[in-house]
């Protein structure tokens, strides 16, 4: 891939969803591997509900039987758009989105709105820096440069530099994909991209426009509207031990959104490492009762639905968390023969 505009395709569905007698996740990742997609990663969620209103939670037995998953594929616009018909044809039930971004180097002049971007790094788990796992070095770079938050997500399958990599029970799973995300300013992202290129040559680094709505309980701005025919993605960044009235924020958010009549779905993803604000990068520790790993709860919906969801998010994040919003130019929700939305880009 050369530097320039890229597209990110993300599919949200249940892990046991099938297509032509195979698991949908396996078929979709085979497709991305066959077409040598630059980066793709499958993440297992810990809570979700979707257009069919099936709730899956890390408290229920249904999670171990059929957890929510997301599969994200990143490459040039031509390659991703060339695969959308095949992806939608194999998906019986789920949600698929397309998002625009840019590959590093970061052009700070391209981001003129609220001065915030999401930087995403796609690497394999085997990447090491100075004998240590590469994700530790990336987290330290982002923290030192002043990023407001960062999360590391460990994939179970995907492609790294166009090559298929998957976790297996009887091996070390040394090269499954990692997805590292950080929120900062364009200048911070440009500096980070330069440093990361030096310590992790060949890693795919992308940036997307983002709006910071809340941080540490402080309301900074309500989500902006999206252009006609486009959608919004609202992400609530908390920790697994973050509580509202004694309940985990991500679980309560899923429950409250499901109980309402406006939200079409949400997915909570658990990371393995990260930080927010001035915290040092951290993850799980031995003998620790409460898990401090990051959790991102993601909602993609129409602007009116996102605004209604934001009222719930605002209440639940009254004292902590980072809330961001992004424009999603294309989304399709599939329920067998029923389809809503389109993956055609305006």
β-strand partners of 12: 70, 95
Q: So where are the chain's domains?
A: 212-328
Q: What's the Rg (C-alpha) of the chain?
A: 19
Q: How far apart are CA 134 and CA 141, in angstroms?
A: 11
Domain at 212-328, CATH from 1.10.3720.10, 2.40.10.220, 3.30.70.120, 3.40.50.1980: 3.30.70.120
The backbone torsions φ and ψ at residue 220, rounded to the nearest 5 degrees and listed phi first, read -100, -35
User: What does pTM read for this prediction?
Assistant: 0.92
H or E element, residue 26:
helix 24-34
Query: What is the sign of the dihedral through the CA atoms of 247, 250, 256 and 258?
Result: negative
pLDDT (tens place) for every residue of the chain, 346 residues total = 555 689 999 999 999 999 999 999 999 999 999 999 999 999 999 999 876 655 555 555 444 467 899 999 999 999 999 999 999 999 999 999 999 999 876 555 455 455 799 999 998 888 889 899 999 999 999 999 999 999 999 998 998 777 777 765 444 555 788 999 999 999 999 999 999 999 998 889 999 999 999 999 999 999 999 999 999 999 999 999 999 999 999 999 999 999 998 999 999 999 999 999 888 999 976 444 446 899 999 999 999 999 999 999 999 999 999 999 999 999 999 998 899 999 999 7
């Amino acid at each position: 891939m050369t530097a320039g505009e890229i597209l990110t395709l993300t599919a949200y569905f249940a892990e046991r969803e099938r297509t032509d007698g195979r698991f949908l996740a396996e078929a979709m990742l085979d497709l991305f591997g066959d077409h040598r997609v630059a980066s793709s990663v499958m993440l297992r969620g810990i809570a979700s509900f979707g257009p069919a209103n099936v709730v899956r939670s890390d408290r229920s037995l249904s999670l171990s039987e059929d957890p929510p998953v997301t599969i994200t594929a990143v490459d040039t616009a031509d390659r991703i758009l060339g695969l959308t018909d095949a992806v939608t044809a194999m998906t019986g039930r789920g949600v698929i989105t397309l998002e625009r971004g840019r590959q590093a180097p970061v052009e700070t002049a391209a981001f003129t709105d609220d001065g915030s971007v999401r930087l995403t790094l796609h690497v394999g788990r085997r990447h090491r820096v100075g004998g240590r796992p590469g994700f530790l070095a990336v987290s330290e770079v982002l923290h030192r440069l002043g990023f407001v938050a960062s999360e590391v997500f460990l994939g179970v399958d995907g492609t790294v530099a166009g090559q298929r990599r998957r976790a297996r029970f009887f091996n070390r799973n040394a090269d499954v994909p990692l997805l590292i995300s950080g929120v900062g300013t364009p200048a911070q992202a440009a500096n980070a991209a330069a440093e990361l290129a030096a310590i992790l040559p060949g890693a795919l680094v992308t940036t997307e426009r983002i709006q910071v709505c809340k941080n540490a309980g402080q309301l900074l701005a309500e989500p902006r509207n999206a252009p006609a025919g486009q959608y919004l993605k609202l992400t609530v960044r908390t920790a697994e031990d973050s509580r509202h009235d004694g309940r985990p924020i991500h679980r309560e958010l899923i429950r409250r959104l499901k109980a309402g009549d406006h939200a079409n779905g949400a997915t909570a993803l658990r990371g393995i490492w990260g930080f927010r604000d001035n915290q040092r990068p951290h993850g799980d520790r031995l003998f620790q009762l409460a898990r401090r790993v990051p959790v991102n709860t993601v909602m993609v919906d129409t602007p009116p639905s996102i605004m209604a969801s934001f009222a719930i998010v605002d209440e639940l994040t009254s004292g902590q968390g980072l809330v961001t919003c992004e424009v999603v130019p294309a989304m399709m929700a599939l329920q067998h023969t029923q389809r809503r939305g389109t993956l055609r880009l305006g």
